[in-house]
Amino acid sequence: MAAVSGARRFTMTTALAEVAAMEAVRRIPKELDKYLYMRHMHHENPALFYKLLINNAQELLPVVYAPTVGQVYQDYSKLPIHIHGLVVRPEHRGSLLRRLRDWSGGHRVRVVVVTDGERVLGLGDLGFNGMAIAEGKILLYTVMAGVNPAVCMPCVLDVGTDNERLLADPTYKGLRQKRLRGQEYDDLVDEFMAAVKALHDHTLLQFEDFGNRNAFRLLDKYAPLQCSFNDDIQGTACIALAGVLSALRVTGLSIEDQRILVLGAGEAGTGVGQLICKAMRSQSKLSEPESLQRCFFLDSKGLICSSRSDDLQHHKLPFAHDVPFIDNLLDAVKQLRPTILVGASTQGGAFTKEICETMAQINERPIIFPLSNPTTCSEVSYENAFKWTNGKVIFASGSPYDPLKGPSGKMHHPAQANNAYISFFDRQIPAHGFRQQSSP
């Protein structure tokens, strides 16, 4: 009886601590200060941290992950926090397996999230500060999938930065040199990947926020060899396709009848296009060229088309259609008449009032997905998209937006299309590294 009584007291004490901690978080007015409070808890009382996070995921994920981490990335080196992840630098060549083993503390690592910080959201090259994204992303495996945090490793490949502001900042904790390129970079990645595989033969590795010049080729190189995926290319594509399929249940239209226009032709955008086109082929009799002809892209120079073929990176070429060049998004919407408008550009406010109004004129229920993170980089807010389409919009965004009240008094809740909601991959997706190894 004494043991039972003691267990009850322990349970009550733990519950009271959780309530008190949650109340403390809610009293903090600034999101960045909430983040720091949670980081301190993570270091001092990890059991309470994870209990709080799991039991209050909807409220706290925006604090420890997007959109608050958008503020954190830029000033990560300045923040009074303990680093939870593993830092790998060129000087560690030859000892990476030992470093991974030392960090794991004897645990069987099941998941690694690794970044080199070259292309962090819409913020560009943040070098070592990319550790913030690895630490934030790794939490999702515990919160969303119940994976023991002891077997989850966040990691940054600190190979320098081309960001002059960071190199000149005396508080920057990263390697103070221009980015490592070429064979030296590849050799470091090779040893790191080999070390992950040697550490445990079947560990899932997530590539996160690598620049275009490395993201596609690393995925193509390692996906057939190790259990790995690129979250920016494949994770974004999966959640975007899920959003499109959900939206089509509202419109009642078929996927092969859609015309998709994507602003932004980097990893995320072209990944979205490839997967939506594959879904078209799987649900209809469309050929690959026919499905690709239904998907258009604008990059920083304008519409991707055949007249620009000599100037395009390889991942853009499948979408270089034989159509006239258009140099701006509004004219592209008017001439191409898309049913779905996707933002993967990191250009905050790019979906203007006139663009949204035009989408609403073309479509009874326009589908508009501003997927760029953080909120400051979102192509359009939910409030504006709703207002500018007279409430007709079917909306999903990369960062969360608050619900709003419509003219009739009804509350409207915007959907969030964030990679956090993707937990598995279609084993049948072969295009551009969309290969699935067995999950851990």
Is 209 labeled as ligand-binding? yes
Q: How far apart are CA 43 and CA 292, in angstroms?
A: 48
Tokens of 319: 């979408």
Is 169 labeled as ligand-binding? no
Is 220 labeled as ligand-binding? no
Residues 204, 417: contact at Cβ < 8 Å? no
Residues 209, 119: contact at Cβ < 8 Å? yes
Tokens of 44: 């001092």
Name the nearest CA neighbour of 298 among 346, 347, 274, 263: 263
Is 118 labeled as ligand-binding? no
Residues 385, 368: contact at Cβ < 8 Å? yes
Name the nearest CA neighbour of 209 among 270, 130, 299: 130
Element spanning 295, H or E:
strand 295-299
Backbone CA torsion sign across 231, 235, 237, 240: negative
First CA to last CA across the chain, in angstroms?
A: 42
CA of 440: how far to CAs of 117, 173, 239, 429, in Å?
25, 33, 21, 19
Is 65 tagged catalytic?
yes
Is 50 tagged catalytic?
no
Is 232 labeled as ligand-binding? yes
Residue of 137, 197, 278, 316 with catalytic role? 137
Q: How far apart are CA 287 and CA 282, in angstroms?
A: 10
CA neighbours closer than 13 Å in the CB half-sphere of residue 341 = 29
Residue of 34, 35, 65, 172 with catalytic role? 65
Is 328 labeled as ligand-binding? no
Q: Catalytic positions, please?
A: 65, 137
Give binding residues as ranges.
119, 208-209, 232, 373, 418
Give binding residues for (S)-malate as ranges.
119, 373, 418
Give binding residues for a divalent metal cation as ranges.
208-209, 232
